Structure 1
């Protein structure tokens, strides 16, 4: 059995998951999240600021300690939309590798969607034959059409929650008007991608922290609910409740983190748009994501694992390799 760690460097937070791998079987041991909004820098100025990089470095130092303490043998870290677009991504990656001995790989939106889709397919869900996997991130959304467990088409669109929030704030619009404007700009891209598949009824498989939050929010509004299932009618009702609350009220009444409360309505409206355009009435929420896809990928492809020896000799060797480069 091998212990691995997966790190998802997202636009609205950085996540660490630790799991045991035995052949192709994986077992999640522990998961952590640090709320660092890289997208607030990257989507606004095009670079990760010095202050944000300091916070990111401290987070990775903490991750490194956790990884060492928990006896992890291999680690893999990937960066998504915020790092893809940051002009100083190379410098950010080099600093993290030099100081924390963790190498970050920046992946494409399409690769991100594939890893998430593979995580869903390897979960315990009884998936229907025709699905639409929909992931909402901070910088982008990923749409993946799946027929009979095979990916038919995939598209990444720059319409994540943090990116839309940045646009609303820059334009000085109110929350509802700002979301209306932002969704109007991406509606055509989503509709044209989904158009060839509208005649075949599909269940949306929704992933990402915001969709998981919407599933759990049903408890606050409905007596009977299943957090793994969200109907379009329930989603519309939740939107109505969220629209009546300020961001502060969402943190106080719904116990949401501040960095969730300010984007949850954006996510709910995005999910509604995709459901309506795909003629779907129900969303299934598997509670897996990119980090789970990374763990599965490490189990299936051992050669792709990045060695992270936690012994003293291993760290010396790693430092030597970093110095040479």
Structure 2
């Protein structure tokens, strides 16, 4: 039974939570498979995550065959973005940046979809280039670069594409975050039109011992098509290079190896996953049906039909740039977005004059922190 004092409070509005910081930042990453949000407040050179959201929406489902974003995929994604919009409203957000990647880059109705998102949710997305996607992934995982090596290969396996970025490891350590925000110390980079969604659609799972090897060989042939990548293979063979994996495939594979009852980011992020253990975890998954994989807590139904395609891409990377282990990063594009918002150059103020702005005033320069979008 309510006391009289409690009764008086019952009809009042719930007080807004007291935030340690009145200046928060938000990053939204709309990929081919996932839709993700991070809300954070600055903490020195890094940040503290205040809230997050992640939903598998499969925006690019069926797109490799049709070339368009389907009505069902658009509906799922809009629903997730409405949820994100509601979350954002509950925080004192100073700046927000929303980016879309491969699905919106290549779909014939990608621009139309982005415009619809703005109308229905109020969220304005910028469709970023593969190069900017690779740069942001590097910035997000920068503190995992081993300064004792000559080169780090950051592997970002997405739903519709895979970005590889070879980084000057010693220079990255020397210039730190501020330097990397001005110019990412990339030696080379490449983007490939294969991801967990596109590859799994190209190679529908079947009970055939040749199925996975065929998918692996195809993934390797795609990666080998970038001829400049071969010049770094020797460094890896001499143990002068190392891998950083930033994707759901890598974190899921690491969690499977660890036999976690539930996914725990603090245990997975930053872990070292040996090549031997990674292959053993993949072989375990290969021996299960899709339904059996969905029962593994760190895989679930959302990834059960996609994880082996991601493993094929990762295994192909390991074959071409061999090393004993990989650094696992439960961080990447979203974290890079937040760091560029918090520590990068602020966007230029819009002029109030009647002069027409040039197109470049609203876009970001390659290699520099992008404007809010």
Do Structure 1 and Structure 2 share a fold, with TM-score over 0.5?
yes
- SS class of match (2:61): helix
2:324 equivalent to 1:303:
no
Larger deviation, residues 255-264 vs 112-121: 255-264
- SS class of match (2:156): strand
Change (3 A) 1:306 1:62: farther
CA distance in 1, matches of 2:120, 2:250: 34
Larger deviation, residues 34-43 vs 4-13: 34-43
2:38 equivalent to 1:17:
yes
TM-score (norm 2): 0.75
Residue-pair matches, total: 300
Residue 107 of structure 2, aligned match among 79, 86, 110: 86
RMSD across aligned positions (CA) = 2.4
CA distance in 1, matches of 2:48, 2:36: 17
Residue 256 of structure 2, aligned match among 192, 217, 236: 217
Residue 73 of structure 1, aligned match among 81, 94, 100: 94
1:247-287 CA-to-partner distances (Å, cap 9, x unmatched) read 11011244522121111122222212211211212111122
CA distance in 1, matches of 2:133, 2:69: 21
TM-score (norm 1): 0.85
Give the conservation status (yes or no) of the 8 Å contact 2:252–2:298.
no
Larger deviation, residues 175-184 vs 245-254: 175-184
Residue correspondence of structure 1 range 307-322 to structure 2 within 5 A: none
Residue 184 of structure 1, aligned match among 198, 206, 217: 217
- SS class of match (2:160): coil
CA distance in 1, matches of 2:332, 2:71: 29
Q: Residue 74 of structure 1: CA displacement?
A: 1.9
Give the conservation status (yes or no) of the 8 Å contact 1:119–1:296.
yes
1:105-160 CA-to-partner distances (Å, cap 9, x unmatched) read 11111110110001111x36655432111111111111111122221000011111
CA distance in 2, matches of 1:17, 1:306: 25
2:279 equivalent to 1:244:
no
CA distance in 1, matches of 2:129, 2:208: 30
CA distance in 1, matches of 2:188, 2:194: 18
Give the conservation status (yes or no) of the 8 Å contact 2:101–2:130.
yes
**Cross-structure match for 1:151:** 186
CA distance in 2, matches of 1:141, 1:208: 10
**Cross-structure match for 1:315:** none
- SS class of match (1:196): helix
Give the conservation status (yes or no) of the 8 Å contact 1:43–1:82.
no
- SS class of match (2:76): helix
**Cross-structure match for 2:24:** 3
**Cross-structure match for 2:315:** 272
CA distance in 1, matches of 2:348, 2:91: 17
1:204-243 CA-to-partner distances (Å, cap 9, x unmatched) read 001011111111111229xxxx741111111111121111
**Cross-structure match for 1:62:** 83
Residue correspondence of structure 1 range 50-199 to structure 2 within 5 A: 50-121=71-142, 123=143, 126-129=146-149, 130-147=151-168, 148=170, 149=172, 150-169=185-204, 174=207, 177-191=210-224, 192-199=227-234
CA distance in 2, matches of 1:55, 1:165: 20
CA distance in 1, matches of 2:166, 2:309: 23
Which protein has the larger Cα radius of gyration, Structure 1 or Structure 2? 2
CA distance in 1, matches of 2:76, 2:220: 35
Q: Which has the higher helix share?
A: 1
Change (3 A) 1:285 1:175: farther
**Stretches of structure 2 lacking an aligned partner (at least 5 in a row):** 1-20, 173-184, 261-266, 351-373
